[in-house]
Structure 1
Amino acid sequence: MDIDAYSARQRPAWKRLERLNRKRRLDGAEVDELVGLYQRTSSDLATLTSSATDPDLVLELTRIVQSARGRISGARAGTLKTLGYFFTVTLPLAMYRLGPLFLATLVYSLFIAIFAGFWVFNHPEIMTAQGSESDLQRYAQEAFISYYSNNPAPDFMAQVWTNNATIAVQMVATFMTGVIPLMILTTNFAQVGMAGAILAKYGDIKVFFGLITPHGILELSCIVLATAVSLRLFWAIFVPGDLPRTQAFAKIGRELLPVGMALIMLLAIAGIEEAFLTPSPLLPLVKVLVAVVVYALIITWVVVLGHRAKKLGLTGDLAANQAGYMV
């Protein structure tokens, strides 16, 4: 698709919808026009989202569509109420519904890390291929430890967040392949296992777990979650079920959009843990306990609120009159 040509052709309608969104009062004809333009722009947004396109354009259209949706539904809830609903219903429900796939992916990930660790530890030729013995000793006894404190904590946190967010984006962006997200996941967890093997051989395995656990519990779970999102999108495309392929993909995409927002926030928390908690002078056990408590609170929030929302029959998708045209 020629995105520039498509955008130029549709932009007058988008601009008209934006002008209607801003009007304080609409007459009957304008309301009808608003609904029609909303449906048309929603369809445009779905088309652009499923294509490689400018993310700024997608964000612009998302903002316009959300504003129009509020006018059509008559929603006038305050910002705090809207945010409250998002964090107590929309977001935990989206993550809860992804739970079985997340758990299956997590089991696979842990298997890869453990298998890689034992395999490398018991095959010295693989370990020595990573560097000389002196290099491996330096890595296990100095470099691995100093990595978490070499840079100022705020700068390190920003770097970590950016790196992890990039990995998550790569996974979701390549969902159409089905294979690339799993390859990225496998590589990351194999590297964790290899690092553990090197520290077990040339350093202290307790140091490895003392440094990797405080932030790794949440950070690696985010990578698993991003993989689960990409696999769910892949499944919707190639096994759409009773719905037409485009409708199935659009439905799952709308339901999983909050998970993408959750990943941004959770990776920020993981970055704070890695930059401030991991290199802190606290006892390793205390750091691990702090990380476990944070993780347990997140899991409790998802399970309790997500399960409650699901029991109420909510799906996380838009109502039929809000989802735009069906293709």
Structure 2
Amino acid sequence: MDIDAFVTAHRPVWDRLDHLVKHRSSLTGAEVDELVDLYQRVATHLSIVRSSSGDAMLTGRLSALVARARSAVTGAHTPAWRELVRFFTVSFPVVAYRARWWWAATAVATIVLGWVIGAWVAKNPEVQAAIGSQDTITQLVEHDFADYYSENPAASFAGHVWLNNAWVAAQMIIFSVLLGLPIPYALYSNAANVGIGGGLMASRDKLDIFFGLITPHGLLELTAVFLAAAVGMRLGWTVIDPGPRRRVEALAEQGRAVMSVTLGLVVVLFVSGLIEAFVTPSGLPTWARIGIGVLAEAAFLAYVIVYGRRALRENETGDLERAPDVAPTA
């Protein structure tokens, strides 16, 4: 084979393929088709050169060109660490930030309900009697409530708390499959449990102990539960009001957003569990324990606001890139 004639005849094809590969991010549909066609032709040229010529330089050049074209055609695999970084700097915070009004409304409504129930229990002895006997309430207030945080080894208690909190948040996510309809009742049950405990402690002038023990971990823990509930109810609302998109597309996008929140809250609740296991029962002064909880809460909210707002400005949704079920809608 006349190698010089071969190169002269096919060099325009190689140069054109090289140009398309370098500008692959801005190709038109016709140019993408051309890229695929030229990739196949140059791969054939490489096979011919390898079998008919000993020109190592030409073989190397064509091999590199074919490899880059193959990457452009098939798509390069994104390293797992980049996907992880993107998840925690874009996907999770932007989904949480986009649900901020649902999140805030859920938190305010649940907290107010908990306060109302707590005040009702604290001011009504007949309500307390319906909850339990005087001896039972005394045992709870004087011993059981505080002992709960220190009766087990910290490490195993952290694992137990993490699983329990994850299950509470998971319930909110599971209920989203039912369009979020059971979520308000689940929030009511949670608010009632906290309110009853606080009301009983307040009735015996132990409210300082109640907040001293529940605040360090409770701030972050409840924030996570409120977020899970918010995105779950938002999923249900998407069915009612999908906006300009088709209802199936909107539901699919919001469903994937719910999954992003689920994965992110695994980490948030793990941190909350560590605080509950190692900080809440520690010998630190009450102000120090509460301070740690406040710092953890502030750090999480700042993280969501900073990264979520930035991602939203860049038109990120937290959804999968190039999701297959998304289509243009007029």
Where in structure 2 are the equivalents of 1:290-309 lying within 5 Å?
Answer: 290-309=292-311
**Secondary structure at 2:282's aligned position in 1?**
coil
Corresponding residue of 2:209:
207
Contact 2:180-2:234 at 8 Å conserved across structures: no
Tell me if structure 2 keeps the 8 A contact 1:148–1:275: yes
The answer to whether the Cα contact below 8 Å between 1:93 and 1:316 also exists between their aligned partners in 2 is yes
Alpha-carbon separation, structure 1, partners of 2:197 and 2:300: 27
Matched with 2:194 is: 192
TM-score normalized with structure 1 length: 0.74
2: CA distance between counterparts of 1:72 and 1:211?
Answer: 58
Equivalent AA in structure 2 for residue 282 of structure 1: L
Cα distance change of structure 1 residues 71 and 178 upon mapping to structure 2, 3 Å threshold: farther
Q: What secondary structure does 1:279 align onto?
A: coil
Tell me the residue number matched to 2:63: none
Q: Which residue of 2 aligns with 1:288?
A: 290
CA distances 1:250-274 after superposition (whole Å, capped 9, x unpaired): 0112233221111111111111111
Q: Output aligned runs, 1:1-327, within 5 Å.
A: 74-175=75-176, 176=178, 178-319=180-321, 321-324=322-325
What is the CA-CA distance between 1:178 and the residue it aligns to? 3.3
Distance in 1 (alpha carbons) for counterparts of 2:136 and 2:265: 35
Q: Is the 8 A contact 1:141 1:203 kept in 2?
A: no
In structure 2, what is the Cα distance between the partners aligned to 1:247 and 1:240? 8
Conserved in 2, the CA contact under 8 Å of 1:140 and 1:203?
Answer: no
* Contact 1:136–1:202 (8 Å) recurs in 2: no
1:316 alignment partner, SS class? coil
1:130 CA displacement? 1.2
For 1:179, the aligned partner's letter is: L
The AA in structure 2 aligned to 1:98 is A
Q: Which amino acid aligns with 1:244?
A: R
Distance in 2 (alpha carbons) for counterparts of 1:162 and 1:83: 22
- For residues 133 and 72 of structure 2, the distance between their equivalents in structure 1, rounded to whole angstroms, comes to 66
**Matches of 2:179 and 2:75, distance apart in 1:** 40
Deviations along 1:230-279, one digit per CA (max 9) or x if unpaired, are 10111112322332322111011223322111111111111111111100
1:59-110: CA deviations, max 9, x gaps? xxxxxxxxxxx99772444333332222222221111111111001000011
% identical equivalent positions: 36
**Offset at 1:212?**
0.4
2: CA distance, partners of 1:141 / 1:214:
20
The residue type paired with residue 239 of structure 1 is D
Contact 1:215–1:291 at 8 Å: present in 2 too?
Answer: yes
How big is the shift at 1:213? Answer: 0.2
| Cα gap change, 1:123 to 1:240, in 2 (>3 Å) | same
- Residue-by-residue CA offset, 1:97-143 (whole Å, 9 max, x unaligned): 11111001000011111101111112211111111111111100100
- Change over 3 Å in CA distance of 1:111–1:244 after alignment to 2: same
Structure 1 residues 275 and 233 mapped into 2: Cα distance closer, same or farther (>3 Å)?
same
CA–CA distance in 2 between the matches of 1:220 and 1:201? 24
Aligned equivalents of 1:72 and 1:105: distance in 2?
46
CA separation in 1, counterparts of 2:72 and 2:266?
A: 28
Equivalent pair of 1:148/1:279 in contact (CA under 8 Å): yes
The one-character-per-residue Cα deviations of 1:190-221 (angstroms, maximum 9, x if unpaired) are 21111111111125110000000011001111
**Cα RMSD (Å) of the superposition?**
2.4
**Which structure is larger by alpha-carbon Rg, 1 or 2?**
2
Check 1:108–1:271 CA distance in 2 against 1; reply closer, same or farther (3 A cut): same
Distance, in Å, in 2 between the alignment partners of 1:146 and 1:72 is 62
User: What residue in structure 1 maps to residue 17 of structure 2?
Assistant: none
Residue number in structure 2 paired with 1:52: none
Measure, in 1, the Cα distance between the counterparts of 2:72 and 2:323: 11
Partner Cα distance (1:183, 1:273) in 2 = 28
SS class of match (1:317): coil
- Find the aligned partners of 1:157 and 1:275 in 2 and give their Cα distance: 5
Q: Given the superposition, is the C-alpha separation of residues 184 and 322 from structure 1 closer, same or farther in structure 2, using an over 3 Å criterion? A: closer
Cα distance in structure 2, aligned partners of 1:80 and 1:164: 27
